[in-house]
Structure 1
């Protein structure tokens, strides 16, 4: 395994762990903290806790649908 591959893998793990920790604190812990506490300024409003994953899921499904459709069209053209 190359050093660059390990560095990229480590970076991806750190990013995903950071996102998971931030989202977990935002959704699970923050509702139990007083609304005038200073920690609230580091987080988006609660509405975005649902909107962002829904938007990301819809975008992923759209991308996958377009990708699968284009692959099916290319394979159909090759057979004809």
Structure 2
């Protein structure tokens, strides 16, 4: 099981670093590159640089609130 945990940890670390590198290049470096450069075809439009993280944050916050609400309801039923 330890090997599987290490593999999952390595995969999650690699995925996180890849997303961080892509997003950093997209938001910080790409605006300084000419608009007709070939590298622009590998990235989404700049509007999505704000839209994607905000919508992901709202979704996570909604799921977290639903989870906390369900836990509170279940704990209230156990007391009664």
TM superposition score category, shorter chain reference: over 0.9
Q: Distance in 1 between matches of 2:6 and 2:78?
A: 38
Instruction: Identify unmatched segments of 5+ residues in structure 2.
Output: none
Give TM-score, length-normalised by structure 1. 0.98
TM alignment of 1:12-31, pairs within 5 A: 12-31=12-31
Q: Report how many aligned residue pairs link the two structures.
A: 80
Q: Match of 1:59?
A: 59
CA RMSD of aligned residues (A): 0.8
Instruction: Identify unmatched segments of 5+ residues in structure 1.
Output: none
Q: Distance in 1 between matches of 2:50 and 2:57?
A: 11
Give TM-score, length-normalised by structure 2. 0.98
Runs of 4+ in 1 over 4 A off after TM superposition: none
Are 2:16 and 1:7 equivalent residues in the alignment?
A: no
